[in-house]
A and B are shown apart, each in its own frame.
Chain A
Amino acid sequence: MIRRDMLKWGALASALAGAPAAALARAGAGLDVLLLDTRFGEGAAVDMGAARVLTFAGDVTRIWYDHLDRAWRQPGFVVGGITGADALFVLETLAQQQGRKVVARNVLAAVDGIAPVSWVIAPVHPSVLA
């Protein structure tokens, strides 16, 4: 991964830090898609700039099957999210299999026992670098 991208994603992740609602308002640019876990508030109304926004409530199955699994088979594709730690755990495990890693993460204040996390998953293996 090149250093410029690392810095960009790092900056994005810190922009995502803070309370989920504040983070939502500042997320967007630099990502191919932004995932929002609606257990921590509805994100649909927020303007996400360039990024496409996909929402789900904890269970990542559909988003992964319909979008990420296909996208991650091709080079590139940077995903950001504000999701529960449980959803990130699943996505991180899936990402590793496809040459991708969590390149930035911030744990936010817990809501109802599950901590929301803002994160960025980006390609790192030569076979998927854009």
Chain B
Amino acid sequence: MVTPSTMSAADFADGLAQMRSIVGPEWVFDQPADLNTYRDFYSVLWGEPEEKQASAAIAPASVEEVQAIVRAAGERGMPLYPISTGRNLGYGGSAPVLSGSVVLDLKRMNRVLEVNEANCSCLVEPGVSYFDMYRHLQESGSKLWLDVPDPGWGSLIGNAMDSGGGYTVSGYRGHWEAVCGVEAVMADGEVLRTGMGALPGSETWQQYRMGIGPCLDGLFRQSTLGVVTKMGFYLFPQPEAHLSASVSVYRYEDLDELIEIVNELEYGNVFNGMPGVGSPVLSQESPIAMAIVPEPEEMNRMVRETGLPAWRASFNFYGPEKVIAAQWEHVRDRFAHFEGVTYHAEEPVRFPLTPAQLEKAQKPRYGIPSLEIFTVGSQGYGKFNPSDGHIWFSAVIPRSGKGVIDANRVMRQACKERGLDVFMLAPAVTCWTRSFVLFAAVPVYKDVAKNRHLRESIKEIIKICGEHGWGEYRCPPAFMDAVMDAYSFGDHKLRRVNEQIKDALDPKGILSAGRYGVWPKHLREGRGA
């Protein structure tokens, strides 16, 4: 068993004994078979001595138990790593960043505490999965929608805390953006409520996010500062209808203006659903992996020969049917001057969906949790099979035509030079407000030599992206230090301020050590090594 490097075996055993008295012996896991389930199946360090593994796991059932655990851990310097549902596959799974940490598994705290129909919001505990919340909404006859990430088995809180994204409406699909109100057990064992939750008797915790003074919600995004025990979210009122449509243009040179207009329309609230920008002519081999963008003449020749569009912008509208029809008309007008432009619109869909529509629907687009993504391996998307393991590389790039082309070329070239397979490459993912995130899915192996090469390559690619001003929004634990290093303005002032906050709020460094490159003082030098 891996034990925390900062504790003696006797202190660790004594600590676990105390944890057993807090949660009951059956909710403390320290046997290899149990700990195996907390390994990151997608780990780029799989089977190596450096693989990040838990020493034990504890599953409390209440805020009071979490407080008692945190206090007991503080007394002994026992490192804790809180997770909600621990399904962060591609970004670390349920494994801690610091090997030997005790995973604080919050799956048993799984109550939907409130759904407020009039306020279009909810308040949940960490173990509430998207499926749980969906079931709750369905069974209570709610008229509210959830926004869900692709696999619906994760939790609202865990996903939002890692800044995950979904596929419906702006302001909801960037999951951190939809958070309103946080409750966290801090490293001293006390409970903090942010925003209006700090005002006893307030009924506005899930309405006004900021409260008074600095907005502290941000302390808990991708952070090491607390165990989040409750979180509020805005929910979207079920719209009357949805329309999915696209605009296709046929010249390499059209991309810049295409994206400028998409931006103008989205920022002006002409459409509210998730936009997309892709290239049909460059997606002939795989619909989910854009090939390298060639020189203009070559790309225009490919367009002429295949008849396929050079670029396609897709639009999604959610709202009253008449309104979205008018919005789509306006969108078409804005692109009418492009040479040869073509338009396509699906039949509008009205809600609620019929069972037949539901069966065929792309479920995350309607806030319906699904696990279908795991069958892509048998659906003709090349070798992409999520049950074999992969990592996501996801860098924020400029939201412009030049941004897309540069990022595509740099990423394609860097992967080619290093012999990396790329299952999926989407340069303009728009889950997060006003951003393009370049997504690439790269396979992970159960082979030490291949993974070593993969790790070295990814670290180089992080540097290359950094040199272009592109930084990852999220990453697996093995790359957190490298990614944080790239955010280096002011001699790494960002990391240094994070460290100062860490030292002030968690002086013993017991919570989530190393997450996103923020290490407690006693581990800072070796970064947990």
Contact = CB atoms under 8 A, between A and B. Distances in A.
A60 B85 CA distance: 19
Interface residues of B, number: 24
Contacts of A101: 33, 37
A89 B387 contact: yes
Contacts of B153: 90, 93-94
B171 interface: no
Contacts of A77: none
A60 B374 CA distance: 9
B371 A127 contact: no
Given A59-B372, A93-B153, A84 B378 contact: yes
B131 interface: yes
Nearest to A86: B387
Given A61-B372, A114-B378, A90 B387 contact: yes
Given A85-B387, A86-B387, A126-B26, A112 B37 contact: no
- State the main secondary structure of chain A at its contact with B: helix
Interface string A63-97: 01100010000000000000011110110011011
Interface in A34-70: 39, 58-61, 64-65, 69
A5 to B, nearest CB: 16
Nearest to B152: A61
A59 B375 contact: yes
Contacts of A59: 370-372, 374-375
B495 interface: no
Contacts of A8: none
B374 A87 contact: yes
Interface-central residue, B153, B370, B377, B387, by most chain A CB under 10 Å: B387
A112 B385 CA distance: 13
B226 to A, nearest CB: 23
Nearest to B370: A61
B87 interface: yes
B502 interface: no
B492 to A, nearest CB: 37
Size class of A's contact patch? 20 to 34
Contacts of B386: 86, 89
A127 B374 contact: no
B131 A69 contact: yes
A84 B377 CA distance: 10
B372 A97 contact: no
Contacts of B152: 61
Contacts of A85: 387
B26 A125 contact: yes
A125 B386 CA distance: 27
A96 B374 CA distance: 17
Interface string B370-405: 111011011000000111000000000000000000
Interface in A87-130: 87, 89-90, 93-94, 96-97, 101, 112-114, 125-127
Contacts of B242: none
Given A61-B372, A69-B131, A87-B375, A97 B85 contact: yes
15 contacts: A59-B370, A59-B371, A59-B375, A61-B369, A61-B370, A61-B371, A65-B131, A86-B386, A87-B375, A89-B386, A90-B371, A93-B153, A96-B37, A114-B385, A127-B26
The 4 closest A-B pairs by CB, nearest first: A89-B387, A58-B375, A86-B387, A96-B37
